[in-house]
Amino acid sequence: MVHIYCGDGKGKTTAAMGLALRAAGRGKRVLIAQFLKGADTGERLALARLPEVELLAVPERVTFSFRMTEQERREAARRFLNLCACCRERLASGQAELVVLDEACAAVNTGLLPLEELLTLVDGAPEGAELVLTGRDPAPELLERADYITEMRCIQHPFQRGVAARPGIEY
């Protein structure tokens, strides 16, 4: 099954990590690949403690895509292709039953991950696997393949009043 958490509201990653936690609690092998995210997040710190969860490596810090140099964009694109290849390998070998592709939709939208690469991963997932994709504005081709689509809508957010992101709440 393919799950998509999308929209402009807070909670996409939180929902995906909640599902990862639920699956791990039931003994399922969980793989988490994060695109456009750095290592300093509360969910990574918590999920790293669970033996059922494998967190693929991310850079310590990540530059916003619109601020990346050409070199940073090339490195990110290369890393994202490697993340997808690793996910395909873990799924094919049965080492992962639930795979979270956090901000994969955003990686596609920024041009750092080819949509075809993500579609190959989704289409090649074995029977019984669960794939969770997050990010704003998922491509229509992804929506067509989804079994679950949940949209988070921002009605109000402290950032609109100039409040900076807070550890443990926004990351």
Query: pLDDT, tens digit, for every residue of 114-147?
Result: 999 999 999 999 999 999 999 999 999 999 999 9
Mean pLDDT confidence for 84-94: 97
Phi, psi of 26 (to 5 degrees): -95, 10
What 3-state DSSP class applies to 99? strand
Sheet holding 2-7, edge to edge: 53-55, 30-34, 98-102, 130-134, 2-7, 148-152
User: Could you tell me which CATH number the domain at 2-161 has?
Assistant: 3.40.50.300
**Quick one: pLDDT band at residue 65, thresholds 50, 70, 90?**
confident
**Quick one: pLDDT band at residue 67, thresholds 50, 70, 90?**
confident
What 3-state DSSP class applies to 70? helix
Write down the pTM of the prediction.
Answer: 0.92
